[in-house]
């Protein structure tokens, strides 16, 4: 009897679910974020341009900007985000065990990480490429580094890539693995190594940590392709959807010419169908993910589009002065891409 | 068990000696056997220094070594050092640049604790000092009650002051750092380690084989692994073995890891005390009809703890030093913040200043504690701990 | 018998208590294991020990096992173990020698010397080891010159901030013979000592053991060593490009960790030596003197054997501490077990539980092996009470 009624109840609830098309997949992560009132974002320990806390503890950087945009999309307020600095080793356990909602920390997307660590990569917000910083006049390209000793952070993709690259070319180098980036830089600076290796973008920022930045050069030739972007753990598809499409939304905003300055005007006056859908005038896109339809409007208004964020944090408006390069929109010769908002 | 290598207890000139986890040796309960007779007069001193040609040569060699090492050190530390200024450019001397330490002083003490809320750290620190003074005060009326209340409420009050809640603005543990974090880690890990250590020591002495086995395995396990590995374990594994969603603050994880590990060493210190209590005491109490817990709590343990106090203090010193290991998991205690300060582009290259300052603070704390423990030890078990 | 009476019965209560503890413990372990497996399945983390046979892909700058980046992760673990043991053994030897010197100096009649030794001990023991490791690495070793300005040692070895580069023999057979001759000499010398004892007991005259020792333990091995050194071609390091090529490089990480471990531990060894010597009752020395033994003989035959008995257990825990403390190398990129396995390998595979379990098991077995050996030694030299 009771079994029958249970089965009936189950069947009914199934029917109801099918009947209302807007029924949302449960998302424990989004519920938790809304309940606690802030987003928990795992960032780098301190990488100028990407995620860096000044001596007042205020965070800035392109990875930090993304988290602020996500907070604005979910909670309507870009300041409602807390940053947890994570080392190279800690990042995975911190994400896997749910201490942070996502990692936005200059982490390279690789197959084995995706397949064995229980993490999903939600898109690319920075195309990084591994290169080296050396003392001026000692070398100009990676191929000059035969016999050099190289400082690197243990557990990074750079550690393995550098080993592979030199081995393939039969070059003998001595690679010293430090537990933290800062230790590796300090050791390079003190003369322990001839080169320090990291991503081109990361190096542009880390150079400022050297005693005399002007006596060092960052090589322009890269030995790898290291796409990086926000990372979530397995499960909770609806939350993954939000993480993925907020990034896409920032890129689309740049493509569509929406900036933090003109976003009010665009929302009021724009006749472009895609702009209207992105800013929540039409389509009800936010509601489909269980967010307010203002989600991207808030993100763009409070943080800006991808290009604005790039210029402010790592581009010409920042001390790093990185050109857009691969990080330019695909329509302008770069590799930065977003699927359409349709 | 006496003399078993890993047991940490050795027979020594009629008494016994306890080895702390960092190897500090405490003689108990008989005070230090003999001390070298110190020279009593000026003439004796001269004789001791230059009595034989060998003595004279040794004296001169040591003096030369002192001059060779101390003079440049003193010049760097004080004479050629820069004390006044605001930025790196003000440091023009060839000596230390203490301007750096002054500029970063707030961070060395409080980490990234919000400036407006730092009075709370000070208040907690004053509270800690007052509580300790209260507990060390000999013959205070109603002390037992007061001490109990302080030990129960003090830690909770401390956490509330530091972390906030209610009328106080919440300050997250990721903003804590510097000396306050070193003290916090030491005190709270000790609050876990001491009670657990006492239980483990009693367990290891228990008549019941299962309990003895459990306590022994626990103690030997934690004593056999490096504390770095324990801190890694606590930081990486604890979140995995707890039910999903039971997030524990990362600072709490470090405290738990340190606490469990030090508990094993504390247990050995307490066991030294337990073994030094004459068996007659327990037998007499048993003859009076006291059960195990009352016998232990009222007769054996108070005596044992009094005897073991120097050894326990030494474990605490070892704990203070070991808190520095949390920098491996990016928690910025005193040494961690000194290292982090070195990465500041505005102050690169001030390695020695940062380390010298942090080292001096550690030294003052640990040396002070070890002197206190020595005094307790010399005073003998009777009056120790008041 | 009623339930209440049963509960009052001591034996019943004992059994119940033990069952309760055991059950609680098992429940706790099951709880942790279930959570871990649930969390891992939910999080999609790989598990199992298959990763050990995967390619490691990690370069290790300092290793003696013939490991390359294309070896397996198991090979990487082996490199870590060898490096951990290497730095531990070398540091233990150095710390023991230095510690003996300082401990004896602390008992000197000369106040200058004993004061200096005392100051050293108090300085070293009250500062965290991590502090010394960082100072040696980022302070001292880093201030050595760059390769181009190396300090040449006899023009065959070169000291610079990349470490100490020494020539490497191309044929090692001669050195194996040296070791063989040394071992043989030791065996013969031991036999002679036994023979001499028997003869002394019979006739009162001992064999000239000093001379045989000189011949067997020094002259013969040295001659073989000389033959080995001259008999092989040498790979002498030469400056080419960035660094010295050829030879063998003792990396600065090793040097810094070794220096920190041995100078730090020496402070504790000194205290153990002092306590050991003080523990020998004064009457023993006086009696030896009264029997007409020269001071040297009295020291060797009366004081040291008794002091050793007191010193072995605390020395054991010191030696175990050195092995555990060698994990501090992780802070300065010394490729030990913690740094390579718990650091690099854990990052690349993400299999925290397996890797931490293996590491802890490793340290535990090393600790147990060492304390087992020292227990055996301690039992051998222990006082035989008749």
What value of ipTM does the predicted structure carry? 0.81
Residue-wise pLDDT for B328-380, tens only, equals 777 888 888 887 777 666 776 777 888 889 999 999 999 999 888 888 777 75
Nearest to C94 by CA among C289, C296, C262, C295: C262
Cβ atoms C258, C84 nearer than 8 A = no
Nearest to C224 by CA among C187, C175, C190, C271: C175
pTM comes to 0.84
Binary contact (C324, B208; C-beta < 8 A)? no
Binary contact (C243, A194; C-beta < 8 A)? yes
Distance from C-alpha of B314 to C-alpha of B308, rounded to nearest angstrom: 10
Nearest to A228 by CA among A128, A308, A129, A325: A128
Residues of A in contact with C59 (CB under 8 A): 159, 162-163, 173-175, 177
Instruction: Indicate the SS3 state at residue A25.
Output: coil
Q: How far is CA A104 from the centre of its chain?
A: 4
For chain B, say whether A189 makes contact (Cβ under 8 Å): yes
Nearest to C254 by CA among C78, C59, C61: C61
> Is residue B92 one of the residues assigned to a domain?
no
Nearest to A77 by CA among A41, A39, A40, A28: A39
Report which of residues B8 and A123 the model is more confident about. Answer: A123
Phi/psi at C156 (5° precision) = -120, -25
Confidence of residue A154 (pLDDT cuts 50, 70, 90): confident
Distance from C-alpha of C199 to C-alpha of C212, rounded to nearest angstrom: 16
Contacting chains of A (3 CB pairs or more, <8 Å) are B, C
For chain B, say whether A181 makes contact (Cβ under 8 Å): no
Whether the domain at A28-127+228-332 and the domain at A130-224 fall into the same CATH topology: yes
Please tell me the total count of domains within chain B.
1
Binary contact (B328, A179; C-beta < 8 A)? yes
Confidence of residue B246 (pLDDT cuts 50, 70, 90): low
Mutate to test the interface with A, among C63, C135, C344 (most CBs of A within 10 A): C344
Residue-wise pLDDT for B43-98, tens only, equals 777 777 777 787 788 888 888 888 888 888 888 888 888 888 777 777 777 788 88
Nearest to A335 by CA among A36, A126, A98, A58: A126
CA distance B159 to chain C (A): 26
Q: How far is CA A153 from the centre of its chain?
A: 19
Average pLDDT over chain A reads 88
Distance from C-alpha of A248 to C-alpha of A234, rounded to nearest angstrom: 20
Q: What angle do CA B355, B359, B362 make, to 5 degrees?
A: 145
- Relative to beta strand A226-228, strand A130-135 is unpaired
Distance from C-alpha of C104 to C-alpha of C86, rounded to nearest angstrom: 27
Distance from C-alpha of B197 to C-alpha of B190, rounded to nearest angstrom: 10
For chain A, say whether C32 makes contact (Cβ under 8 Å): no
Residues of B in contact with C318 (CB under 8 A): 19, 23
Cβ atoms A240, A122 nearer than 8 A = yes
- Relative to beta strand A195-199, strand A149-153 is parallel
Mean predicted confidence (pLDDT) in A212-223: 90
> Is residue B148 one of the residues assigned to a domain?
no
Average pLDDT over chain B reads 80
Residue-wise pLDDT for B289-306, tens only, equals 888 888 888 888 888 888
How many other CB atoms sit within 10 Å of the CB of residue A162? 25
> Is residue B222 one of the residues assigned to a domain?
yes
Q: Where are the domains of chain A?
A: 28-127+228-332, 130-224
Contacts across the B-C interface (CB distance below 8 Å) = 220
> Which range is least confidently modeled, C91-95, C145-149, C323-327, C381-385?
C381-385
| pLDDT over 70 (residue A1) | no
CA distance C20 to chain B (A): 10
Binary contact (C138, A190; C-beta < 8 A)? yes
Mean predicted confidence (pLDDT) in C48-64: 85
Describe the strand order of the beta sheet including C248-250 as a list of residue ranges. Answer: C151-153, C157-160, C163-166, C248-250
| A130-224 carries CATH number 3.40.190.10 | yes
Q: What is the C-alpha radius of gyration for chain B, rounded to an integer number of angstroms?
A: 24
Phi/psi at A102 (5° precision) = -160, 165
The whole-number pLDDT of residue A35 equals 93
Mean predicted confidence (pLDDT) in B124-132: 87
Nearest to B343 among A85, A89, A182 (CB): A182
The whole-number pLDDT of residue B385 equals 40
Nearest to A244 by CA among A96, A109, A135, A148: A109
Instruction: Indicate the SS3 state at residue C165.
Output: strand
Distance from C-alpha of B271 to C-alpha of B267, rounded to nearest angstrom: 6
Cβ atoms B80, B93 nearer than 8 A = yes
Instruction: Indicate the SS3 state at residue A138.
Output: coil
Mean predicted confidence (pLDDT) in A154-179: 87
The whole-number pLDDT of residue C47 equals 81
Distance from C-alpha of C101 to C-alpha of C95, rounded to nearest angstrom: 10
Distance from C-alpha of B19 to C-alpha of C154, rounded to nearest angstrom: 45
| A28-127+228-332 carries CATH number 3.40.190.10 | yes
Distance from C-alpha of C55 to C-alpha of C345, rounded to nearest angstrom: 10
Share of chain C above pLDDT 70, in %: 97
The counts of H helices and E strands in chain A are 14, 14
Cβ atoms C73, C52 nearer than 8 A = yes
Contacts across the A-C interface (CB distance below 8 Å) = 125
The whole-number pLDDT of residue A61 equals 93
> Closest-CA residue in chain A for B103?
A55
For B328-375, give the DSSP string.
GGT--BHHHHHHHHHT-GGGTT-HHHHHHHHHHHHHHHHHHHHHHHHH
Confidence of residue B5 (pLDDT cuts 50, 70, 90): very low
CATH of the domain at B191: 1.10.3720.10
Range of the domain at B220: 98-113+171-383
Confidence of residue B30 (pLDDT cuts 50, 70, 90): very low
Mean predicted confidence (pLDDT) in C297-324: 85
Contacts across the A-B interface (CB distance below 8 Å) = 53
> Closest-CA residue in chain A for C44?
A118
Please give the biggest Cα pair distance in chain B.
77
Binary contact (A97, C39; C-beta < 8 A)? yes
Phi/psi at B289 (5° precision) = 95, 15
Confidence of residue A197 (pLDDT cuts 50, 70, 90): very high
Binary contact (B342, A186; C-beta < 8 A)? yes
Residues of B in contact with C23 (CB under 8 A): none
For A234-278, give the DSSP string.
S--HHHHHHHHHHHHHHHHHHHHT--TTTHHHHHHH---HHHHHH
> Is residue B177 one of the residues assigned to a domain?
yes
Binary contact (B172, A82; C-beta < 8 A)? yes
Distance from C-alpha of A184 to C-alpha of A150, rounded to nearest angstrom: 9
């Amino acid at each position: 009897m009771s079994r029958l009624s249970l089965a009936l109840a189950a069947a009914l609830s199934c029917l109801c679910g099918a009947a209302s098309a807007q029924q949302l997949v449960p998302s424990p992560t989004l519920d938790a974020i809304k309940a606690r009132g802030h987003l928990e974002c795992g960032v780098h320990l301190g990488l100028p341009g990407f995620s860096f806390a000044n001596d007042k503890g205020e965070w800035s950087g392109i990875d930090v900007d993304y988290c602020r945009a996500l907070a604005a999309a979910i909670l309507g307020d870009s300041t409602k985000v807390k940053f947890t600095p994570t080392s190279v080793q800690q990042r995975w356990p911190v994400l896997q065990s749910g201490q942070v909602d996502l990692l936005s920390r200059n982490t390279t997307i690789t197959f084995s990480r995706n397949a064995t660590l229980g993490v999903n990569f939600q898109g690319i917000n920075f195309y990084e490429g591994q290169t080296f910083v050396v003392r001026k006049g000692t070398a100009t390209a990676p191929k000059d580094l035969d016999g050099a000793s190289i400082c690197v952070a243990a557990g990074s993709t750079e550690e393995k890539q550098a080993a592979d690259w030199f081995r393939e070319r039969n070059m003998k180098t001595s690679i010293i693995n430090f537990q933290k980036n800062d230790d590796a830089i300090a050791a390079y600076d003190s003369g322990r190594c001839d080169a320090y290796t990291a991503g081109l973008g990361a190096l542009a920022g880390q150079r400022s940590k050297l005693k005399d930045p002007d006596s060092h050069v960052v090589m322009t030739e890269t030995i790898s392709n290291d796409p990086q972007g926000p990372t979530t753990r397995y499960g909770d598809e609806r939350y993954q959807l939000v993480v993925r499409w907020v990034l896409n939304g920032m890129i689309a905003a740049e493509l569509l010419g929406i900036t933090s300055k003109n976003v009010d005007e665009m929302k009021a006056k724009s006749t472009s169908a895609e702009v209207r859908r992105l800013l929540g005038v039409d389509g009800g896109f936010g509601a489909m993910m269980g967010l307010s339809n203002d989600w991207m409007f808030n993100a763009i208004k409070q943080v800006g589009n991808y290009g604005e964020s790039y210029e402010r944090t790592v581009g010409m408006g920042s001390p790093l002065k990185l050109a857009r390069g691969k990080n330019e929109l695909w329509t302008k010769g770069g590799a930065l891409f977003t699927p359409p908002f349709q | 068990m006496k003399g078993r290598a890993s047991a940490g207890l050795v027979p020594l000139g009629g008494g016994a000696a306890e080895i702390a986890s960092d190897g500090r040796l405490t003689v108990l309960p008989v005070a230090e056997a003999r001390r070298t007779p110190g020279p009593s007069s000026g003439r004796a001193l001269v004789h001791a220094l230059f009595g034989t040609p060998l003595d004279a040569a040794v004296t001169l060699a040591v003096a030369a070594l002192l001059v060779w090492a101390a003079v440049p050190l003193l010049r760097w530390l004080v004479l050629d050092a820069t004390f006044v200024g605001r930025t790196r450019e003000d440091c023009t001397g060839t000596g230390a640049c203490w301007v750096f330490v002054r500029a970063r002083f707030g961070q060395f003490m409080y980490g990234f604790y919000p400036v407006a809320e730092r009075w709370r750290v000070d208040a907690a620190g004053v509270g800690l000092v007052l509580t300790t003074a209260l507990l060390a005060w000999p013959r205070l009326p109603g002390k037992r009650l007061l001490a109990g209340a302080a030990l129960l409420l003090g830690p909770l009050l401390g956490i509330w002051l530091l972390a906030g809640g209610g009328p106080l603005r919440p300050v997250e543990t990721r903003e804590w750092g510097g000396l306050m974090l070193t003290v916090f880690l030491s005190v709270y890990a000790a609050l876990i380690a001491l009670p657990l250590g006492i239980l483990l020591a009693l367990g290891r002495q228990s008549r019941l084989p299962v309990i003895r086995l459990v306590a022994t395995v626990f103690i030997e396990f934690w004593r056999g692994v490096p504390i770095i590995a324990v801190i890694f374990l606590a930081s990486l594994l604890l979140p995995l073995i707890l039910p999903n969603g039971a997030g524990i603050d990362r600072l709490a994880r470090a405290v738990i890891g340190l606490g469990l590990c030090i508990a094993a060493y504390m247990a050995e210190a307490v066991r030294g005390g337990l073994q030094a209590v004459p068996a007659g005491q327990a037998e007499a109490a048993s003859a009076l009809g006291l059960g195990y817990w009352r016998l232990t709590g009222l007769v054996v343990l108070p005596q044992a703890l009094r005897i073991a106090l120097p050894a326990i203090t030494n474990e605490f010193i070892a704990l203070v030093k070991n808190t520095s290991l949390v920098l491996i998991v990016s928690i910025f205690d005193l040494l961690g913040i000194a290292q982090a300060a070195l990465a500041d582009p505005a102050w690169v290259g001030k390695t020695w200043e940062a380390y010298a300052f942090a080292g001096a603070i550690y030294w003052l704390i640990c040396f002070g504690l070890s002197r206190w423990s020595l005094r307790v030890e010399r005073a003998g078990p009777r009056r120790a701990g008041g | 018998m009623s339930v209440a009476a049963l509960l009052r019965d001591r034996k019943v209560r004992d059994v119940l208590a033990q069952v309760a503890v055991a059950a609680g413990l098992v429940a706790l372990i099951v709880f942790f294991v279930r959570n871990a497996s649930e969390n891992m399945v939910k999080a999609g983390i790989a598990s199992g020990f298959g990763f050990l046979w995967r390619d490691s892909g990690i370069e290790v700058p300092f290793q003696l096992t013939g490991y390359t980046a294309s070896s397996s992760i198991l090979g990487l673990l082996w490199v870590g173990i060898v490096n951990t043991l290497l730095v531990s053994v070398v540091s233990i030897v150095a710390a023991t020698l230095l510690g003996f010197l300082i401990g004896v100096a602390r008992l000197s009649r000369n106040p200058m010397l004993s004061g200096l030794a005392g100051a050293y001990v108090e300085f070293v023991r009250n500062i965290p080891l991590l502090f010394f490791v960082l100072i040696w690495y980022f302070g001292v070793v880093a201030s050595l010159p760059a390769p181009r300005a190396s300090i040449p040692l006899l023009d065959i070895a070169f000291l610079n901030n990349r470490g100490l580069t020494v020539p490497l023999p191309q044929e090692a057979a001669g050195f194996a013979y040296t070791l063989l001759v040394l071992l043989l000499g030791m065996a013969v010398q031991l036999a002679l000592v036994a023979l001499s004892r028997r003869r002394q007991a019979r006739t009162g005259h001992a064999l000239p053991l000093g001379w045989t020792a000189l011949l067997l333990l020094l002259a013969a091995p040295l001659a073989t060593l000389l033959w080995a050194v001259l008999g092989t071609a040498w790979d002498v390091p030469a400056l080419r490009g960035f660094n010295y090529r050829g030879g063998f490089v003792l990396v600065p990480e090793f040097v810094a960790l070794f220096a920190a471990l041995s100078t730090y531990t020496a402070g504790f060894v000194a205290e153990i030596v002092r306590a050991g010597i003080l523990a020998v009752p004064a009457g023993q020395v006086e009696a030896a003197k009264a029997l007409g033994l020269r001071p040297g003989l009295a020291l060797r035959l009366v004081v040291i054997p008794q002091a050793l008995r007191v010193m072995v257990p605390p020395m054991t825990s010191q030696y175990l501490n050195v092995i555990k403390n060698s994990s501090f190398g992780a802070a300065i990129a010394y490729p030990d077990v913690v740094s390579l396995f718990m650091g690099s390998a854990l990052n690349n595979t993400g299999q925290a539980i397996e890797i931490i379990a293996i590491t802890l098991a490793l340290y535990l077995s090393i600790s147990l092996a060492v304390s087992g050996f020292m227990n055996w030694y301690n039992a051998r030299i222990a006082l035989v009470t008749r």
